[in-house]
Every structure is written in C-alpha cells, then in structure tokens.
A and B are shown apart, each in its own frame.
Chain A
Amino acid sequence: GDSVTQMEGPVTLSEEAFLTINCTYTATGYPSLFWYVQYPGEGLQLLLKATKADDKGSNKGFEATYRKETTSFHLEKGSVQVSDSAVYFCALSDTNAGKSTFGDGTTLTVKP
C-alpha cells in the first residue's frame, strides 16, 4: 500500500537558518503530494501541494518539488523564523480514492 516516510525529529534551528525536512513516498499510482503544518494548539492546515511530477509547491517561503524519479517531496525554507515552530506532516493523496496517507510528522523548533 501507500506509505510516507519523513525525516525524524525533533529539529532545532536558530532563526534565519536553512531548513530541509526530507520526505519520501511509496505509491502505486500517481498521487498528489502535500505538506501540512500544525501550529501549537491548532489543527492541521495545508502548507503547500503539488499534483504532478516536477511541480513545485510554495507558500510562506516554503518550497517542495515533486520528484517522481526519487519519489521525494522534500520541504525547504531558506530562512526560518521563530513563528515557523510547528509540526510538519508530509502526505500523499490517491487521486482516485481521495484518502490521504501521512508521515509521522517532524517537530521543528526555531530559537531566536
């Protein structure tokens, strides 16, 4: 079945550092890929998405590129802020069935 593997956390960075959170997936079809973020005390919300190979999703300075050849969707940000501290989930969605498969989440803490 489908699966998502995320870089284990927690990740602690200083403000303005470069962020990479690795995500690889296994899927039988051609899924859509997502990064969701969960800020402290809040629900999951979409950060960015890509629906086909070589697409780049971007939002709030975060980027991720759908790499079919390496089955990866790594999340990057050039300069993190304290307000980026949250749990980040990589997910894939079966285009036909709609259900999403999530990774276990990576906790990011950014220190001033």
Chain B
Amino acid sequence: QTVVTQEPSFSVSPGGTVTLTCGLSSGSVSTSSYPSWYQQTPGQPPRTLIYNTNNRSSGVPDRFSGSMLGNKAGLTITGAQADDESDYYCGLYMGSGIWVFGGGTKLTVL
C-alpha cells in the first residue's frame, strides 16, 4: 500500500521561507498525480491553497506557491505570517478514481 509522506512538523520564523514536501513511500510524485495542497486550522474545514502542482486557488495570497522538487511536490510559503500557523495536507490523484491525502504537516510560526 502506497503512503503519501509529509513532514510531521516544521517551524519557521515570521517573515521566513519554508518548503513543505509531499512524497510517496514507493515511487515518485509527478505532475500526473495533480498534487494539491490544503490548509486547515483547528475546528475549521480544509481550505484549498494549490491545485495541479502550482496553481493558486482563488483568493490565496501569492506568498503560497507550489512546485515539483525532484520526486516530490512542494509547497513554499515566502514571508511567513503568524496566521499561516496551520496544518497543511497534500492530496494526490492515484488514478482509477482514487485520491489519497498525506498525513499532514503541522507548521509553527515562531
């Protein structure tokens, strides 16, 4: 069973830059997995940030960007702000109508 891997936690200083990654326990993430990224704060539903690797969803600030980093997908936050402190999940399309989410990264801004 393929598992989508994410860093369990990450820390960034206010104004700093951080890149979160999304990989596969076996194999590589590619653009044909249509990587997407979701932000979630406690008690709230997820909010869609990035779709199709590097496209920002409507209303998402341009400090959020997506990319491919070798065999992984990446989410970069440039100029981190206090309210970026959230859980971040990547989602991958595995084919045959199946989607999978990563375990999430808890981002701390301090």
The answer to whether A and B assemble together is no
Q: Which residues of A are interface residues toward B (Cβ below 8 A)?
A: none
User: Which residues does B use to contact A, with CB under 8 Å?
Assistant: none
